Structures are given as structure tokens and as C-alpha cells.
Copies of this chain bind each other. A is one copy, B any other.
């Protein structure tokens, strides 16, 4: 097997559960992630498994437990329903295979605890949980700010978590279990503290919520050191997706999720930072450019500015230098463009 980046072979990954999240992970492994290879998909829905496997040109394995055991599979992404996680993760641990498990790890503290014990008995960490906010640039920055103690001890975290609407069968407990779970983890990640108490309040529910769904809710968490965390969870706003976190610390505040990077307030005023250079500002554009070029070239074409664009730029810039030197308006004539 060849790999573009090192002598080590690519990681052969199977995705278990190919509903919305699982399909998205399959696509990511097949077309975005370097140094990994999507080799199989598995779902209890055999027809769906076959369809997704065909889409990505990989094996369909109808029994997820068989996928865990498969010798051609190095590692697993688990995106099946939460109630199946315990069995699958324990099997992976038994097989010594690494797992990236979508949240929740399991659906009860007891079952999660059993996994903790099993992994501890194994003596090495094989299981990662899919709390992806820890990889979001703003949260990483906010955590660094807290760790630096530059603003002193944290006092509050004010959180907002909003969705436009909910799928059918979403119930009141799921606002906590499926949505606030992200804030639960991110609070632990940001503060490095365990959460020791919780309250849940609620205003009247919105008329946009399905009958019987308590939405929105207001969840108040307390951490070990006494940081107070409030979370507005509102999942039928009709509007869009909004996640914001405001840190209030002893000597300043910081807000993320405003869409302008992290904004701090200190005695020096409010504000943010300016990118240092073009790499920081346009890194993503460079990545997209090269990936799209690679894909176009493999299809025998280009996907971006061509030589005419390069020529036109050269002509305008040459005229620009003349304009600079003369102080005059300089006209540009490109001539006929080849067919």
C-alpha cells in the first residue's frame, strides 16, 4: 500500500452506522482525511449499507460486530445509535482496536463507567469520544486564555446553544442528553474541572415546539471550584444554528461565537486580534485550491484561473507600473483571446 506522506501504511477505517453522521464521516475519511483509508461501512440496515458502500467503492459489512472483528479493519468510527455503543466499544476494546465513538459514549453513567473500567484494565487508551468542539479554533483559543490565567479565575460561563428545529421524536430529556452534552464536555475542557451540580429551569415553551416538548430550557451547572455555568438550550428557534460562549473572569471577559473570532474585554478596551500574515488569513483557500486542482487534473482538466487570467494580470500590472512611474492613466488592451 502506498501513502503520500510517509512510509507507514494508511489507517484502514470502517464506519459503523451510516445514518446522517456516519455517512458524513465516511465522506470525510474518503475525501478529506489524509493518511487514512475508508475500507468498509456497516449498518444493521443492509440496504443502506450496500448503497453507501457502493457510493464510496468500499466493502459492505452487514453485521457491525463482524466489522469490529474484521482483520482488514485497523480502526473504527462508531456512529450507530447510542444504545448500541456499549456493546460495540467493549468488543473493540476486546479486539484491541482504536475507536472514535460519536457522542454520547453510552446512554447511562453506569454503562460508561463499565467502559472506563474495561479500558483501564487494558492499560492503554483506545477510545476517543466525538466531542468535536474541542477542535474548534475558538474554543481552543478560549481554553488557552483560561489556562494562561491572564484574566484571573473564571467566574461565569454564559452559553447559548440554538437549533432551527428538531427531528421527529425529539423529547424533553434529549435537550439535555443530546444537546447540552456538548456544553457539559466543553465546560470540562475549558475549565479542567469536573461539574458537581446541575439545575434545570424553563420558561414557557415556544409555540414552535412540538406538543409536549419542553423547549427552551435553562441549565445551570456548578464546577468544583464554584464556577457558575448557564446554558440556554433552545432547539426550535426556526432560525439557524448558534453556539456562543462568554467567559466572565476576574479581570476580563471573552466571547466566542460572535463570528469575529474571540473578542476580549479588559481594562485596555474591547477587541480582537489581526491575522499576522496571509497564511493565517487564506490557509483554507490554499487548501481548497490545491485539492480542487488535484481532483480536476485527475479528471483531465483544471478548476481555477487559467493562463488567460495569468496573462491579463500580467498586462494590467505592467500597465500599473507604467502608471506608477508616469503619474498618468494608462490604458490596457489585451488583444483577442484564443478560442
Contacts and interface: CB of A to CB of B under 8 A. Distances in A.
Contacts of A197: 319, 329-332
A304 B202 contact: no
A10 interface: yes
Nearest to A89: B307
Nearest to A205: B155
A263 B244 CA distance: 15
B194 A312 contact: yes
A311 B158 contact: no
Interface string A281-320: 1101111111111111110111111111111111111111
Contacts of A105: 307, 309-311, 313-314
A274 B240 CA distance: 6
7 contacts: A5-B30, A31-B35, A119-B307, A128-B293, A129-B306, A135-B288, A185-B309
Given A203-B156, A291-B34, A324-B214, A273 B270 contact: yes
Given A24-B279, A30-B34, A206-B250, 17 more contacts: A13-B294, A35-B295, A101-B310, A107-B314, A109-B311, A113-B311, A115-B310, A125-B301, A153-B207, A155-B234, A156-B216, A181-B317, A237-B252, A241-B277, A263-B271, A265-B274, A270-B273
Interface residues of A, number: 194
A163 to B, nearest CB: 8
Nearest to A109: B315
Given A120-B339, A267-B239, A293-B128, A112 B314 contact: yes
Contacts of A297: 11, 74-75, 98
Query: Which label, helix, strand, loop or mixed, suits the secondary structure of the A interface?
Result: mixed
A239 B311 CA distance: 32
A312 B239 contact: no
Contacts of A308: 116
A135 B75 contact: no
A201 B230 CA distance: 11
Contacts of A222: 203
Nearest to A118: B307
Nearest to A25: B290
A67 interface: no
A250 B168 CA distance: 19
B128 A302 contact: yes
Interface string A121-148: 0001111111111111100000000000
A270 B274 contact: yes
A73 interface: no
Interface in A1-39: 1-8, 10-11, 13, 24-25, 28-38
B309 A131 contact: yes
Given A25-B290, A272-B271, A131 B305 contact: yes
Contact of A232 (B156, B189, B195): B156
B334 A194 contact: yes
A321 interface: yes
A66 interface: no
